[in-house]
Amino acid sequence: MHGMVSDIGLARAGPMSGEFEHDRLIEAVARDRDREAFAVLFDHFAPRLKAWLMRSGAAPAAADDFAQDAMLTVWRKAEMFDPTRARAATWIFTIARNRRIDALRRDNRPLPVPEISLAGPEPDRPDDLLEARQDEGRVRAALRSLKPDQIEVIQMAFFQDLTHAEVAQSLALPLGTVKSRIRNAMIKLRDLLDQPVGDPS
Amino acid sequence: MTALRRPSEERLLAYAAGTLSPPQSVVMATHLAMRPDTARWVGRLQAVGGEVLETIEPAPVADDLLARTLASLSTPEPETPPQPANDMTELPEPLRGYALGPWRWIGPDMRVRDVLAPRDGDCRVILLSIGSGRTTPVHSHQGVELTCVISGAYETDEGRFGPGDFEEADGEVHHRPRTVSTEPCLCVVALDGQIRLDGWIGRLLQPFVRL
């Protein structure tokens, strides 16, 4: 991983990084406009948002602006956070994903780009809502069972457009190999996740 | 070869990660609006993004960034601009948010209009309407072309594409879609570069067809 990213799915635990801690902080922002709760979230997520945009090719100052902008959106949209659907990191990722398209776009016309809903996709079966939060843990468990090279391409896909040849170059792999590695990783992930909840894996 | 009729895994992942170009994202969002199951998969991929964010090596931010951010918390949210006029109520939600250019004639029973969505270099979004039984001139693509069928259906050598179906065609594909529905086939397309029309008819048409 070029020493830049720790192994996906392996971090976690520790009382302060407990996933529910951050959920409660976002709820405190939504309910009480709690600036202290916001500052704790900022200290955790802003450096990660900055790192993420820099891995996408942004300069440090631009990545600072981006982190600020994304955290401001966390403050403004906190009421939309629903911990039964997603954990804090996932919800903040979606905010950042939606903002990044604007931050990195090549044209400067202010036309909107379609966004992924912060309320999550509409459940089409009643069970889906119950499953949504459990899904988060299953996604992380599934990631852990991928091969290291598959984890690497998935991580890289979250930084840069892997359908472009430069990324293949930075991995020193042919573009076709990168694409097939992504496909294999995603098919494995689908296989792992399409198992019904409670089905022993 | 059997048609996939849905986006490739790498393109879905690029959309989930937010690295897909804006015009391609418009076509992808249209497809997801018509395919809730695939939209749910993109939702799951957000959890992968959350894990990437959680496990990335943090980059320390500027010392005063928190203070600056706290100071700006009370600035009012920028107002979202009103939705532009859009005369096609039959379009899926992601396309309703854009103004549309005038319909242009490109051949018998064949019309095209611009979707005034963000461009990316030469890549832009168009709506294409091809009448029943009509075949577009054989053409090939300079870049990747993404298509989502909104209504009607067309057929290529790869198979039949109906409402919600998604097709990725690259520079290798020589494409000759034919409308097989009784109604016209309406598609949204992210077009990269100019379409090259093959054959003598195509060469005759090329000077008149601005695609």
Q: How, if at all, do strands B154-156 and B178-179 pair?
A: antiparallel
Please indicate, yes or no, whether residues A86 and A170 belong to a single structural domain of this protein: no
Range of the domain at A173: 145-201
For residues B28 and A111, is the Cβ–Cβ distance under 8 A? Answer: no
Q: How many domains does chain A have?
A: 2
Which chain B residues are within 8 Å of A87, Cβ to Cβ? 47, 50
ipTM rounded to 2 decimals: 0.89
Strand partners, B191: B124
- Lowest pLDDT segment from A184-198, B10-24, B30-44, B126-140: A184-198
For residues B53 and A49, is the Cβ–Cβ distance under 8 A? Answer: yes
pLDDT of residue B26: 97
How many angstroms away from the CA of A165 is the closest CA of chain B?
13
**Cα separations in angstroms, B5 against A190, B96, B158, B163:** 18, 23, 9, 10
Terminal Cα distance for chain A, rounded? 28
Structure-derived torsion over alpha carbons of residues A188, A193, A199, A200, reported in degrees to the nearest 10: 50
Alpha carbons within 13 A on the beta-carbon side of A178: 25
Terminal Cα distance for chain B, rounded? 28
Q: Which two tokens stand for residue A163?
A: 């359908």
How far apart are the C-alpha atoms of B127 and B84, rounded to whole Å? 17
Please indicate, yes or no, whether residues A52 and A104 belong to a single structural domain of this protein: yes
Q: Which of B200, B205, B209, B199 is nearest to B128 (CA)?
A: B209
How many angstroms away from the CA of B111 is the closest CA of chain A?
24
Please judge whether A136 and B18 are an interchain contact, meaning their C-beta atoms are less than 8 angstroms apart.
no
Segment A76-121, tens digit of pLDDT: 999 999 998 899 999 999 999 999 887 776 666 678 888 998 886 5
Instruction: Specify if A39 maps to a domain.
Output: yes
**Cα separations in angstroms, B142 against A170, B38, B70:** 25, 28, 48
Instruction: Specify if A131 maps to a domain.
Output: no
Please judge whether B13 and A162 are an interchain contact, meaning their C-beta atoms are less than 8 angstroms apart.
yes
Instruction: Specify if A118 maps to a domain.
Output: yes
Please judge whether B37 and A112 are an interchain contact, meaning their C-beta atoms are less than 8 angstroms apart.
no
For residue B162, give the CATH number of its domain.
2.60.120.10
Among A10, A96, A182, beta carbon nearest to B13: A182
Percent of chain B with pLDDT over 70: 84
How many angstroms away from the CA of B146 is the closest CA of chain A?
14
Write the DSSP symbol of residue A80: G
Please indicate, yes or no, whether residues A116 and A79 belong to a single structural domain of this protein: yes
Segment A1-60, tens digit of pLDDT: 444 444 554 444 444 456 689 999 999 999 999 999 999 999 999 999 999 999 988 999
Alpha carbons within 13 A on the beta-carbon side of B49: 34
For residue A160, give the CATH number of its domain.
1.10.10
- Lowest pLDDT segment from A7-16, A179-188, B127-136, B170-179: A7-16
Q: How many domains does chain B have?
A: 1
Please indicate, yes or no, whether residues A40 and A113 belong to a single structural domain of this protein: yes
Instruction: Specify if A140 maps to a domain.
Output: no
Q: Which of B44, B55, B42 is nearest to B16 (CA)?
A: B42
Please judge whether B59 and A63 are an interchain contact, meaning their C-beta atoms are less than 8 angstroms apart.
yes
Instruction: Specify if B174 maps to a domain.
Output: yes
Instruction: Specify if B164 maps to a domain.
Output: yes
Instruction: Specify if B4 maps to a domain.
Output: yes
**Cα separations in angstroms, A143 against A146, A189, B58:** 5, 7, 21
pLDDT of residue A25: 97
Q: Which two tokens stand for residue B51?
A: 């894990």
- Taking only residues 62 to 101 of chain A, the set having a beta carbon closer than 8 angstroms to any beta carbon of chain B reads 63-64, 67-68, 71-72, 75-76, 86-87, 89-94, 96-98, 100-101
Structure-derived torsion over alpha carbons of residues A185, A188, A194, A196, reported in degrees to the nearest 10: -130
Q: At what angle do helices B22-34 and B36-55 cross, to 10 degrees?
A: 130
Angle at the Cα of B12 from the Cα atoms of A143 and B188, rounded to 5 degrees:
170
Range of the domain at B170: 1-58+88-211
For residue A39, give the CATH number of its domain.
1.10.1740.10
Instruction: Specify if B140 maps to a domain.
Output: yes
How far apart are the C-alpha atoms of A81 and B153, rounded to whole Å? 39
Instruction: Specify if B185 maps to a domain.
Output: yes
Please indicate, yes or no, whether residues A2 and A65 belong to a single structural domain of this protein: yes
Please indicate, yes or no, whether residues A51 and A89 belong to a single structural domain of this protein: yes
DSSP element (H, E) containing B69: helix B65-71
For residues B51 and A89, is the Cβ–Cβ distance under 8 A? Answer: yes
Cβ–Cβ contact A36 with B under 8 A:
no
pLDDT of residue B199: 59
Which one is predicted more confidently, B79 or B13? B13
* Section A169-183 average pLDDT: 82
Segment B57-101, tens digit of pLDDT: 999 999 999 999 999 998 888 787 788 889 999 999 999 999 999
How far apart are the C-alpha atoms of A77 and A98, rounded to whole Å? 13
- Exposed e or buried b per residue across A160-181, where buried means at least 16 C-beta atoms within 10 angstroms of its C-beta: bbbbeeebbeebeeebeebbeb
Residue of B nearest to A77 (CA): B77
